[in-house]
Structures are given as C-alpha cells and as structure tokens.
Structure 1
C-alpha cells in the first residue's frame, strides 16, 4: 500500500461501488486537490481529488481501486455534489486510481458518520442493503450448494417473487453507473460470489446479483450465530453457519444440489393464488343488497379474498370460497380453502390481530373500529411487502398532507388597474398562521376534533384523513407563534421561496384580503383588467400586446417591478411605449444596447409622438430631464454616467435586452441597481441563456430582494435544478417568479397565427483544394506546437488555431489577409451566391451574418458587384446615425436586396423584416446567439416564411461541432458555453480527432 497523504480541508463527497466479488466499497472525493502520492502512476493516474483512506469511514483496507469515471482532457469531472462549476470539454470515460475501503453492510447511520455529502451511489447501496435485510427478516431465503473449485460451497440465496421481484427490478433500473465503475482486471469474473460464476465485462444485472447474494448470505449467517443456531452436523448444514466449504461424496453431492435447486425453483415460481385484504371505510348510507347484513354504525370492514397472482383483477371473496363458489380460481388452484387458511396463518405473524378471525370455522372478514382500522393501515405496507394483496380506500393512497396556512390582510383592498396610491413589497401586512389539510385551513372546531382523537385516523368535514402525529405536533407548536405583522416581501418569501425544511410544514394555503392575497395564491394576473390603448398611440395593438401592456400597467399600479420576457419580435417595444403614454408621473430612463438606441428613438417618434424623448449619448452629452418624458441611453453610458443618473428620482427605469445585466457582479448590473425609481421594468427575449443565476440577476433588479440573496437562490434553486434536475425546486421557482414575469413565445396559440413559419436548412459545403491545403497546414502547425510547456500557452495556441481553421472554412483570403479576390476559391461563398441568387430571383431579400468583420467588408462589395444591388455592411464601428439610415433604407426599399451584418453588432434589437432569408456564413457555436440573429427577420411584421441557412464545411471541425449542437438540442449552450474556450481543455488526441480533415471535404 502506498502511504497516503494527510486529508485536505474542504467539501468531501462519499461515493460507493460494487466490486467484482460483490463487495461494497467506499471512496471519497474532495472539493480541493489532494497531493498525489509517490509512484501513483504505476497502474492508472491517481485521482487528483480522491480522499486518502485515512479519511474514509471505518472499513476493511484494500488496494487502491481503478475506477472508470467521466473525464475530459483536463482530468476527472467533479461530481455534482462537490458544488464546483461544471467543466467544459469533450467528455469521455477514463480510468483513475482511488483509495477505497470495503464495508460488509451500509446503513444510514454509517453514512451519517461521514462529515461530507453522500452521492447517489451510496444512497443506492444503502437501499440495496435495506432490501437484503428485509429479505432475511421475512425469511425470503433458501439454502443452496454449488461447485466452486475443488470443494463444494454452501450458501444462502434470496427468493425473489411478487413485490420482491418488482423491487429487485427497480433497483437494477436505478443502479447509478458509478456503482459499477470499477475497472475489471484481466480474467476478472464473479466466481468468488455465492452465485453461479459469470464472466465478462461485469454487466449491471450480474453485479447486482452477486452483491445481493453476498449480502443475503452474510446476513443469514450473522443472524443464525446471534440466535445461537449451531448445527451439530457436519457437511453442508454446518457450512451454512460456518465456513462455506465442506466435503461430500460426489454421488450424494449431485443428489443434494438437485434437490436444493428444485426446492428453490418451486419457491421462485411463487404461489399462483395469494391472500388479499380489502379495507372499506364506514359509510353513512351504504346500499344493502339482498342477503347482505347491515354493518354497525362506524364499523370498518376488512374482507379476505383470494387473488390470482398473475391476474390481479381476478378476486374471489372468502365467503364465496367457503360456499364453493370459486369457479374463477379453478384455473389456478383446486384447493382454495387450504390456500386461504394457510395465507391467514402466515399473515398472523405480521399482523397478530388476524388471530381473532382464525378462531372462526370459516373466516371471511373482520369488523374493526377506528382504532383497529388504524392498526391495520399501519401494517398494510408490511403485508404488501411480504407479498399479500392489499386494497385500501382511495383516499389513503392519495391522502392529503398537513401543511401551514397563512392569512394576510393588506392595508389596501384589491385595487383596479388605475388608482391614486401605489403599494409594494415594503408594505406592512397583518398575518395569522394556521393549519391546512388538502389546501383548506382547519377551523377551531377541526382542531378540537383532532385533539380528542385517540388515533391519527379522524373524520373531518365528512371525509376520513390520516394525520401524522409528529407533523401534527410540530404544526400545533408552530401555531403558538400567533400572528403579527411582516412586510409583503417577507410574506412572499415565506410562502414562495422557503423550502419545507425551513418551516415545520410546507405552506399549502395562503389567503386573505387585498392585493397580496392574490399575489400569494398566484392569481394576480386573474385580477387583470384589459385597458384601452391611450389616445396618443399611433398603432394598432394585437390582443396579446394589449394584455402585455395591461399587465405592465397593473404591476406598475401595485408598485411591483415586472419582467416582460416575450420572444424576440413580439413587440416588447410597442408595449412599453404604450405604458409610457398611459401614465407619465415623471421622467423615465430606458437603457439599451447601442445597436438599438436609434431604433428606440425612431419607434418612439413613430408610435408615441406625444412622448418628449431625449437621447443621452455621445461625447457632448448633457443630462437634463426638464420637460422630458423619456431619456434613452446605452449600457456603456449608464456605467460612465452612473453617479449623475443615480442623482435623479426616476419614475421608471427600464432595461431593454436585460440579459446585459445577467452577470450580477458586472459593472452595468451594479450601476443600474443604484438608480432610484418608483418602478423598474426589464425587457428581454432570453431571461435565461445559460444559468439560472441570470434570471436571479434580472428579477432582483426589478424587485430587489424578491428572490432572496444570490447565495440563497443558488443553494435553493440553481444547484438543485441545474445539477440534480429537482422538479420540486423547479416548481417552487416557477411559483415564485410567476407573478413578476410574463413570458409569451411565438408558438403560443394566440400568437402563432400572427407569424409565418421559420424553416432551418443546413448546407454542407465542400472545400476547394486551396482551402484544404491551408486547413492541413494550420492543423499540422498546431499539433507540432502543442508539446510546448505552459497551460496559458496551450490555450492560446488552440484558440488561435481554431480561429484560423474557421477562417479557412470561410475563404482563404480571410486567413491570408492579402486582399485577393473572392470568386471561385471557397465552397461557402459559392453556396452563398446560389442562395442569394435564388432569393433575389424570387423577389426576396436576405441577411448575411458573419462574426468576422473583415470578411464582411470583403463580402459586401463582392455581392454588390455580383448581383448589381446595393449591399450595406453593419458592424461594430458603424456610427449610430449610419446604422439607423442603413436599417431604414433596407426596410423601405422597393427592390429586394442583401444586408451583410456583423453578428455581434447586428445580432440583437434590429427589426429587419424586409428580409425573409437569413444566412449564417460562419458558426458562432452558441445556438442562442444565432437564434437571436435569425430573429431579426422572424418578428412581428414578417408576413412570409423565414428561411434560415447555415453553411457548414463538410468533413471539418465545423461539421463535428454542428453535429454536437444538433444532438444536444436546447442544452447545447450548456455543453459548449457561450464561446469556444472549452476546446482548450481537450487533450492532443481529442483535438486531432475534432480538427481532422475528412476525405469528403474536397470537392474540386
């Protein structure tokens, strides 16, 4: 054994896996690197975050294990439980050596001894151990003998029938890949486990079989020793409690193995008919059929039935069995009465109260009082686990949980959309806690009934309910807090944001008086009154735009910030301008990207000419809000003039393209949060681009503190949802954000009819001989220089080479920077000319996007000369006035045309519906960014189908990454991030595979 280093501080996560012999093993991962021991690279690389064996729970020391774990070229991927950000790069399986210990059994107490977090693999192993213990406790085991080497081996094996077989199948289905991560050595088999030998790659079903068999065998032997059972006989009976190996004559051994296997096979088939229990609750007006006996008032009926094991719908009451009316069961058994009595006799060991029924000659049912019914319900799960059928009242299966209710009273009544005074989350409201069941608050009489109940099975409001005594006690203790006052924001956080563990019970009913009650119930938008557009608006709003404007006005009247997150092109601009016309109590500040500053100014002049608009931009800008309704500025200017803007009491502060503040620590985000405003509004088509932290940043701007702190939001929502796909946390987040966020997409039924369709076409372009030679030269240079030392140096080389390869795919002149002509030298340019030629020939216009501004400058004059049309080029260096003129001229042109745009400068905010063809000459490799650019044409006002053309070079890195994006779909941006930096984490071999040039790339 290699001497292990001391344990490093930091977060530790306990992992588990099953070895080839069926043993359970533990290892741990740290959140901080561990010093690699000397000689660690002999077998496989040492896991850089593996905790030394000295830091693991008590167990049997073993040689370091070699585990196959998900990795990138930079190392093993951290498990989600560590809490580190996900690592980018191409994922692959790779072997790592870790220190590990073997444990005979795992339970929750053992896992709790470890001061770190427990992985799903450990939780699965704990569940497996619990299943094995349940089988042994219920006697679901049989002895067996098998030949394993020169001497026979006696062992105990599980019998899996009925519910046990289903649970076994569930365990197999849910086995985490990490539990079978150990890399088997040459010739590894499962022959040392107490089941028939299995060789090969250790598939999950075999690994589960050996693990369960080993656990059952060890548990039975332990239980027998603890009970003092020590068979005096030698041979196989003695081997069932002592050493597994024994000696036996060959002739007798074959006979013994055959008899035990036949016994096991018969037991494994299970009974064809099983005893079933059906519990019926008392009914005040139960119909009585002829011959039936009226039940005493308040009595519960526990019926005995026989049920076909493979056809549960075949049920025969015990009364019919005793009357020889069991024709439906004759297919399965000829002795139903014996099966009935035998089943009751065995069930009595689990539920002793059944002994009263066995005193009758022909037991058919039992009548129970409420306490007796609760006793049976308490044993129902145990009977079901033992293989009996159990039919319970429907309300028991879907019983409502006990929760807290919160009654609040706002100082203001529910207001119409227009009112004199605004309210807000800082308002003080009265509150009173209560208990709720099924979403209904319990009255004083209900609580009195609960206090008098002898068992937690009570009848409330005409229906039976079960109340957990511990939860009831915790809820009653919490009620002692009484009522009081809190802010409306605190009431929202308590009911919407706090997870159940921070309150004794979840809040299941929030009601009261005033606007806050509607907010808590998520019904605020149901109070919405649709408003007529103001007289100063010179546009006709669509129905969904009227609702959006009315919603903004309603939130404004309540003093609540709002985020209008409509898809791009649905008219967020016109909805906001309508709101500004509707209510003007002071100057409003609107902050937007530079690329759409002119668009806002032009749209305000066109649709809201009554608004007095001032633009704050440029070197000679002055801030004067006298007589001004709306001040337009950019994010960059807002940062530069932050102190001056913070010195004005704004009526509203509005952020357009609010994803610009998605980084809450960024300069723009910090600046805009300090601007005082009566109300705040965010406009964005992409409230979440990559991470939920972006949503928090936007919504925290519109309602500061409404989603708690960034740290709390990350712990309660971002981590559970993004890493663990926690549906409960996702539901809580939807509930918490719903009142403040209005999201409509182009696919919504009320909107889809207003838009044409958008069609995506991927064009696989070949490369010319010149392109191929340049591509190979760049790739060869990269591979030659990758051996140079230095991580920073390596990253720079990879990114530079990737950029060059993309330039080669576009056109040789872009890489060579020699000003050489474009025609005939690029497969992409040839295909682009074909697309533009077809579009112009059909009387349609096209937008051409490229991320390379230099290529845009070459492409625009080339297309203008080729097709004889004016081709403007918009890029980051284009002045604002020139941008506006370009857009206006293109939109109002009578003839079809072509517009070349830099992706960064023209990818957001612009309205270019005159075009219905969009061509992406090169790839940005961020689907959200490319979709935003395509939506310059796919917007309200577009009346033709939009064709999005993506040009991809065949057989190159472009095609491979494009395939990755297509495979990942909507999650692609989380795989590759928002740029190409993830490529730098790949190993040299991975880069060679990704960048390699396939033979089909050459077309000339």
Structure 2
C-alpha cells in the first residue's frame, strides 16, 4: 500500500504518455510492479505508450483486450480480478458512511486520495498481492508471465483508473456510487455517458415580438467571477499530467485580461449614420450548425459582409459598433443579447462542459446559469427573443430559453478559442484534455485509455451542474463569544441547515444521516461549497464549526457574496451585515474667497485622507492598518472590511504625491468617488448647487424679440448660472425645443451685462448657418453679426461671429490668437470623434465660456460624450484613457450601475437634457410647432436658378396674353425645381445631396430625427423629387424609405401606410403633396417636413394634418424648408405679412402670380444674394 504516499510517479516512455497520474493509478501500477519483472513491465509500458493496445473492454472484474502483435495483427488478452471478500467490502462501505460529506464528494465525482490510507489502516487489500489472485491469459507465443501484451494492458487499465478512480473498486466488485445496490458493483458498468451540454427544447416558431423597452434595464450588472468559478473545481487528478484546475485559473485570468480587446469593434467595423441605420433595419437569422453543436452556429444577414454571415464573436463586434437603439425585431434581440454576452465574457461568468459524438469530444463554454445574476440577465432576454431558422426541413425550432443558451454557448465557445490560451510546453499543449478545453477542434477518444476521458472530464466539471441543481441550504454565523465578555474580541461559529419545501430547517448532520435522494443532493452541494468554506466540511459530523480570524474573513469577505449567488441563504449577526469600508476623502482648506470656478485652484488647497465611517485616517495611518494583512479587522468598535484590491486602490489614490487639481476635486466630490470634507462641500454647492443663480437674478433680456416658454427660461437661466461660475455646459434638448433661441437669449444677457467684449463665436454645420443668421436677425437684431463663411469671408468685429466647422478648421491658424467671450457649438456631436482634425481644431479655440448644443450627446459610445465634454469643460472628465478605465469600460461592458451612477452625478450639473415627451416640457408646448428652416443655394444651383429665371422672364415678356399664364406657371415650377435640386429640374444629373442646399438641410434634419428614433413625413409636390430623396435617404442615411404617390396602386399605397404605422425605429415616409393631402392617417410620425412650398397654406395644413390626427398623443413638429434669396422666400414673406390676402386669393394656388406685371414678376423671381 506504499503507493498512496509515494511522490510523483515517473513511469512514462514518451513525454505524451504518462501513467499513474493519480494516487489510484499509481497504486494499481505499484501493485503490478511488485508482482512482475521490471524488464517485462518496461516493454509493456513501451507498448502501451505506442498505442499497441487496440481495444479494451472492462466488465466488472474482467478486462478483455486486443494488443498489436509481431506475428499476428493482434493478440487477445484476458485478466480477471476476484471480488473483495465480503468482510473487506463491508469495511469499505463503513469507511464511506463514517463521514457523511465524503458521500457528497463521491456524488460530486471526487475521490479523496486519503481514502487509500484509511482502507489500508482498516486492513483492506484492494489489489491482489500475488499473481494467483488473478486469472489471466494471452494467446501470444511468449511464455513469460506477464508477457509484454499483458503488461501493456495493465498500464492502460491504470490510465483508465486515472480518469475514473471508481474503476479500481469496480474491478474488485464494489461500486462506491451504488447506494441502491448496497455497494455491490453491477456486472457491466459502461463508460460514463456525457449528456448534451446545452439541452434544447423544440417548439414551433413564434412571431416576432412587438417593440419593448430595453430588456436589460432591470437585470443589473454581473459580479466578476474570474476567481470564483475555477475555484469551484476540485483537483483534476488523472485527467492530465498536471492539475487542470490551476491551468483553468490561468485561462480565466487571461480571458479577463483579453476580453476588452477581443470584444472591442475593429476599425473595419466602424459605422457611420447611414450604415448603422441600414444595419439596424436588417433582418438577422440565427442559423444552427448542421450537427446541432454551438460550434458552427452563424448569424446570417445581407448586411454581414460579402458572405452574408458571421460568427457570433464577429457579429457581436458589429452590433457593438452600431449605435442604433431601435430597428428590426431581430436586431433588437441580438443587440440586447450581445450586450448581455459581453457582460458574461467580461465577468468570466461561463463554465466549460463536455460534448461527445462519434468517437471524438470537445468542450463547449456556456453561461453559468446557476448564478442568480447570470440567470436573471439571460431570462430578461426571453420576451424579446426572435425565433431562429429551422434546420433543414424541420418545422420546429429551439424555444426562447434554448435559443438564448445555444447562442450564448456559441459566442462563449468562440471567445474561448479566440483567447488563444497555451500551456507552458509542447507536451502540455498536446494533452488531450487541454486540447479539448482550450483548442478549437474536437479530440479523438476512441482508443483504449482515452475512452473514459470525456466522462472523466465531464465528472470533474459536474460541480457546475450540481451548483445548478442545488438543494436549498442555510449557513448561519453566530457569536460564540461577544465583545463584552471581559474585553475580549468576539468569536464566531458556523452552522448549516437544509431548508425544506415548507421552510423548515434540518441540521446538515441530521439530514446527512436521514438517507434518501434529498440527503444525497444536500451532501453533494455541501461538499461542493466546502471548496469555498472549508469549515463546512466539519458540519457533516459536528453541529458547529468554530471560525478563526482568517476563516471568518474568508467567509464574510469572499465566500458570502458568491454563496448568495448560489442561492444559499445566509444568516449573519447584525455587526457583520454592514461592514465599514475605507473610502478616499478629499479635504479642502480655504486660502481665499471663491467667486467662480476659475478661482477654485487658488482659493483652496486639497489633500487626501481615508474615511472609515465618520473617522478620518491619514495615508500613513491607513497603511499601518493594512499591515496586519487581515481582510476583516475590528477597528474602534466596528468591523471593517479591507478587500486587498480595493484597499490598495484607496491607498494608492490617497498616497499620490501630487495633490488633486480643481477639476478632479470637483468631479470627485460630485460623483461620490470620495467623501467631500472640510469646505469642499460648501464650495461645490456654491458652484453648482441649486441656489447659484436665483430666477429673479437673470431676467430675460428685454431686447430679445421672442417669448421664451417656461422650460426655455429654465434652460436660459441654467446656462447663465454656469457662465457666472466660469463653467462650460452642454444643452442637449430634443430637436425642435429651441436650443437656438435659448442660446441667443444667453448671448444677449452677456452683452447687456458687459461680458461679451471678446464676442461670441457660433460654429455650426454649413447647412444650418442660414437658420442661425435668420434667427439672430429675427430675435436679436441688436446683436451685430459677422458671417464668416464663403470664398469672400473676412472677419470683422461683431457681437456674434457665425461660421461652419470646416471653415474654422481651414482658417484655424488665422484665428489662433483670438480669445472669445463665448464659443457655442451647434450640433456638437460633430466633434464626437476625439481623434478627428475637426475636434482638435475646435478644442484649441480660446474662450472664457464654452457651450455645446446637441440633441444627441451620445450616439454610439461614451467616448463621444467625453469628447463633447472635453470641449465644454476641458479636463473635467480626465484623459480619455482614464475616462475609459473608470467609466466607459465598466458601464458599456460590465454594465456597472455604480459607475453609471457616478458618471451621472459627475456630469449632471453641466448637462441639461429635455425631451419633448417630458411632462414638464410637453405641458409648455402647443400641439403643433411650425418651424421655418432656411437653406442656401449651392453655387451650381445659383447659376441654374439665374439661367432659368433669365430665360423664363424673356419668354414671358414676349408672350401674348393668352399664353402668359402658362409661361408664368412654367417659370415658377422650374425655379422651384432648381431650388429643390438640379436633378429635379434636368431629370438626368446626379442626385446626391451635396448638389442642393435644401437636400443638405433635409439630411441634417433627418439625421437628428433618426438619432432620436423618430419617424418623419416628407412632402413634396414633385414625384421626381421624391425619387431623388429616396435615393439620398437610402444611400446616404442608410434607411429604406416608405414612398407614396398618385402613380401607385391602392394595394401598394395601403401596404406602405400600414408598414409606416406599425414598424418601429427611425423611418421616413416620402409623400407627394397631392396624394398625401386626403384620406391618410399617419400618426406614427412626430415630424413633418415640407420640402417645397405649395404657396397655399390650406394645402400645407391639410398635408400636415396627416400626422396631426385624432389618436396622435405627441406634439408634432413641422419644418418648412425655404431656400433663401429665391422666389420661395419672398412669396412666403408675402403670405405671412398678408394673411388675409392669402386666405382670399392664394387659395386658388399660384395663378395669382400671373397677374403681376413684368417688373413685379422680375423682382419676385430675381435671386438675391
């Protein structure tokens, strides 16, 4: 019996064939070596190592084998082991029954090596002590005993025992797992069957779910399991020449380190607005592998590259790159699914399982559903799951849960392969178990010595299945001595109970002796948990287990959170339920008075301390506290949790040599990342508190020729409040809520208070400059204006300088020395890419105050928010790398609610976001808001317009009275078409938006609407123009438009209307003004755009009312596109100034224009620059 205590057994011929890996296998080999000649055994080892044992069958105590021979293809070997005497078999069973938790370990597939010593001490001879105890034969001509063929079989049997230690007992007629047979071995025990790692329940396909809110909103973030999940595994005795548990631990840590890189979109995955909208609108199918394995599952869609399909990992990166929140049902499901999958990967919340088929086996990595937070995350996806494609001719598909689990397994298995984990040597990497676990292909297992490997690996991994099928347990920590007993420190003990269905509690040791399946399950689960709580191993016999200081800390700090996720009920004394934790504290000492944020750095000095409850420690005192090495300490009458990683981060932060600056101090105090001590809290309240600017201290400037709605007044005062304190800000109101007029009011207030000496720079997309110019002239005529744009641009002193992003980039060297009183960016998401030349040029502008305006502060990821804030409040959110580490990664990948909450608090004082659906806003809005949007003709359009006007006027002036009306109307039509788009006029040229100022403006409007998920109606008088717009929307915005005009059949018209009304997400319906004027109900639209004007308000209103109908529960925004300097602008001004005239005469359309004289007509149509 010396084998049980012997060191590593060096019995091997080739590096890749090692025998006697476990005490059980070594024990068998030692017993055979004691009986046989070393030379014969050496030849047998060589035979076994070279794969000469072709077949091996084990039935009870009989081993039959075929071994390759020199003179015949094979020789037949038979070896029979006699059963243990009844008395010794009874001793084996008694030893098992002596420790109830030992039975639990057996149920978990673990056979402790110490059991050999116990049997030896009890006088059990587990293996024969002489050859005569075995009946053996080989039909080879060798007369030796044993011959090399028999010796080879011995070593292969040892290899089988390495993988299945119970086989050693079955050879002697004892089945340790056969409680129902009294421990007697069945005559034929097959190799352990490996169940399907991802069971599938089939159902008939279900319809796509209706649009729902974010299914993961309430699921919460996952806890990190990088250490906990591999720690659940027992030592992997016999599976490989090394401990796979150690290797798996290394794999999980490498996977955690590589996940950010593996999950991040590649540069080729980047999507602009059009591509992302096309991607979101597409239909995606989940195509299962032909063999049903998660390996080989694909995601199919026309938008997934030339092949129209992608693996789950590549698809996940594309979904991460697409910023659209809405889209097709399959897009919404997969978007949510891949978000959850990335959380699983980042948290390392996945486990391996074995899949065997056709003499080969592989490992599938699947989500750890036995963890409550993982199960909640995946279950939240079920309501939005879309049905996968049936395989072949099948009429059934996996149900929702099976679909999600199979998808998750496919994603995680591909991810595990992408980690590219390798072991330390070629021999280790070539090991079959390691190849299956960390490779990307299946491994053969049909050869003798390998047949038991899949089952053995499955048994080793079955701890995860036991965690899923757990029996309800309750662990209770109670005080065995209180702190009041003679001034001594308190001590604690642990007890365990099995919780019945009726809520009753039965002590674990009593349940262990009660027998039955429930007791066996409880013991197996308790044995599993003893890997985390070693004291639990004593509770199969004892009522309590005293916990020393380290055991108490291990339980409270490490084990308790994990046990709760296993569904274990924990009962802790009050003092251990809420532990004090150290936290950085930032202290401010006043040096001077504080007037604005700009004074903060000189008004205060800042230094770090450590907060534990109400107490404060210096960095040196906290460092001394950590020197104890304990993770749970009693300090000043309370228990303090000192998580090593978190404590080290706190110490590193407060020990930094450089004192925090004003930006970091402000952000730290607002986000709650540190306690705000001393006068810092008062300073923060002064800068950003609600009392920083009373309402009556910021009246609306009387020179503003507009009446601000109540929510606009709040926005105006909020901007001024930030400006007063030297702080920039971000106004992120929905499109149409009046960001422009609020900004103009703030500029006027700055001027009237003498704080606009340097002037205001307003930077906007070129397509919006005309609107800014008109709005400034309309609402603030007292402000002088310089339009710094165009070939003849020249900067001159003015209250407001208006320019485009591209102009400012081109001229940045000319204007580098200018310092502005205010810089305002309209559509500030234009600088969302921090690495772009545009963002770098804009952020280099010198300004006393900064204002960012955008309706979409975040489109795709939080780096965009950082970039906009880096303009508005430079340095406030730190560097991009630090921001990504502290906020972006935890929020986007780990779904950390704590990080999201900290970021919300940090930016809340400097960002104002109102939606038109907000109750406080909607109450201030009229039901229908009409906005005139002005466009500039491109140079090409201007030349075309003048040529058309000149030719048309010549024709009219030479025409007779009878043909004048027709020529005038033809001229008006041609001018309107030229204003729309050159293609609308000539019918043949390119239809890109760049050729038309109005098309550019429409694209900008639609982009903002699409980013907000809105649906839009666009009216035009001309079907040809609708075709041009359809191409622009499709090719440049990536959205397939709906189309309706008089040339369509009723069936086609109805189909388009139904789809627009029922489908979700961004959408645009292009409607001819005549066809859309009557008989339609299009309440899905919240915005209406009149691309060209009918010059008849009644017609426009009738079309607008397609969206503003009974049943419309939202405000409708109407945008009228007008080309500046053209006939459109002048006729619109005539209608607006003479409303009664329009009602009397313009109702007949445009025929009244023909009554104008030649000079009046020339003045009306002339292009004014």
TM-score normalised according to structure 2 size = 0.43
TM-score normalised according to structure 1 size = 0.48
* Pair member with larger Rg: 2
